[in-house]
Amino acid sequence: MILTIIQARLGSTRLPGKILLPIAGKPIIQHVYNAAPEPKVVAAPWSDHGLFHGFDVKNVVWYDGDPNDVLGRFYHTWRACKSEVDWILRLTADCPMLTQPIIRKFIIRMGQRNYDTIYTNRPWDPDGYDMELFSSDTLEMAHKYATDPYDREHVTPWIYRHFHVQRSSIVGRPVVPENPAEKVSVDTQENYEKVRAIMEAPC
Q: For 45-81, what is each residue's pLDDT tens digit? A: 998 887 777 678 888 999 999 999 999 999 999 999 8
Tell me the three state secondary structure of residue 48: helix
Q: Three-class SS string for 126-147? A: CCCCCCEEEEHHHHHHHHHHCC
| Contact predicate 32/91, CB 8 Å | yes
Q: Give the best-scoring range by mean pLDDT among 135-144, 159-168, 174-183.
A: 135-144
Helices (H) and strands (E) in the chain, counts: 7, 8
pLDDT for 150 equals 97
Task: Please determine, for residue 83, whether its predicted confidence score (pLDDT) is greater than 80.
Answer: no
Mean pLDDT of the region 18-41: 95
Domain total in the chain: 1
Dump pLDDT digits (tens) for 193-203. Answer: 999 999 998 86
Q: What is the pLDDT of residue 202?
A: 85
pLDDT of residue 164: 81
Q: What is the CATH number of the domain that holds 36?
A: 3.90.550.10
pLDDT at residue 116, rounded to an integer: 80
Q: What's the rounded Cα separation, in Å, for the pair 25 and 23?
A: 5
Q: Looking at the predicted structure, is the pLDDT value of residue 170 above 80?
A: no
pLDDT tens digits for range 102-160? 999 999 887 777 778 899 988 888 999 999 999 999 999 999 999 999 999 999 999 99
Q: Are 56 and 66 in contact (CB under 8 A)?
A: no
| Band of pLDDT at residue 179, cut at 50, 70 and 90 | low
Give the integer Cα–Cα distance in Å for 75 and 72: 5
Q: Which domain holds residue 91?
A: 2-200
Which residue has better confidence, 11 or 188? 188
Backbone dihedral angles phi then psi of residue 70, each to the nearest 5 degrees: -70, -30
Instruction: Say which residue, 9 or 181, is predicted with more confidence.
Output: 9
